[in-house]
Amino acid sequence: MLPTAIRDLMQPPPGLDVDFSAPRGAEALVPADGISWRIFANPLALFIGGVGAVLLELAEPAVRSGVWDHSNFRKDPVTRLRRTGFAALVTVYAPRAEAQRMIGRVVRMHDRVTGTTPDGTPYHANDPQLLRWVHATALWGFAEAYSRYVTPLSAADRSRAFIEGQEAAHLYGATEPPADWAAWERLLHETAPTLEDSPTLGELLDLMDNAPLLPAWLRPLQRMLVRAAVEMTPAPVRDFPSLQSRRLRPGEAGLIRLLGRTASILPLPQLPPAQASRRMKP
């Protein structure tokens, strides 16, 4: 059944077990009444938004080299995506101390990631400017996917998502992360001239289409969700040749919106959002 597939996809990967239900009343990095708690509770928004964010990240040459040269994304995309998605859930829902510990581990791991792009430009994974782009694209992806395919967000709610992400951005080491939606749009405009198409984007989409993220019988749905991510990606990335054949087909956007709204009401009591909500109850 679909709820079971979603539950399995959002389960913590090996070695990353976190108790989101305790200690009672412990605050997270993000306020429990914030827009982020609503956005990140929707599994379709997480999936679509995560793919869209990675497309923007890999269009940036230094980020692309860092991810593709220093991670197991190509060999084991399922584990990589589950770890990345679970890290996002920890950042939003886990007790503050647990989120801070996890971010600290990520920062120390990234400190060893260095290299050069194909044109010889050096990069470092903990470069504050690169971290700014990665953090901003993630927040954009989740908020945009939720607004487009679940429930439309107001301009204020879109900005609130960036406001709520400020503390995590600073813990990761990002320099001047966007503090609202307008600041995100300015960053996108400033970064757009440096973004470029590459075979990596096509390889990423092939991986996302075919990786066993969902059961085989749901693979057509998985591929449709990947197309939804491409559809919402802003220019210039959306117009790259490698993405032109990956757009939504007629009628699919409406179907995804129906699925997205349904996913918001699925009973998933053992997943992090529900555990965190129980933690915050008086």
What is the C-alpha separation between 268 and 276, in angstroms, rounded? Answer: 12
Q: Yes or no: say if 149 and 65 are a contact pair by the CB < 8 Å rule.
A: no
Question: For the segment 157-174, what is each residue's pLDDT rounded down to a tens digit?
Answer: 999 999 999 999 999 999
At 1, the pLDDT band (50, 70, 90 cuts) reads low
Per-residue pLDDT at 81 exceeds 90: no
Q: What are phi and psi of 252, to 5 degrees?
A: -75, -35
CB 58 within 8 Å of CB 176: no
CA distance 243 to 237: 8
What is the spatial distance between Cα 95 and Cα 25, in angstroms, rounded to a whole number? Answer: 9
> What average pLDDT does the segment 111-120 reach?
92
Residues composing the chain: 282
Q: How far is CA 104 from CA 87, 158, 168, 171, in A?
A: 12, 27, 11, 8
Q: What is the pLDDT of residues 218-231, one digit of tens each?
A: 999 999 999 999 99
Rounded Cα–Cα distance for residues 282 and 280 (Å): 6
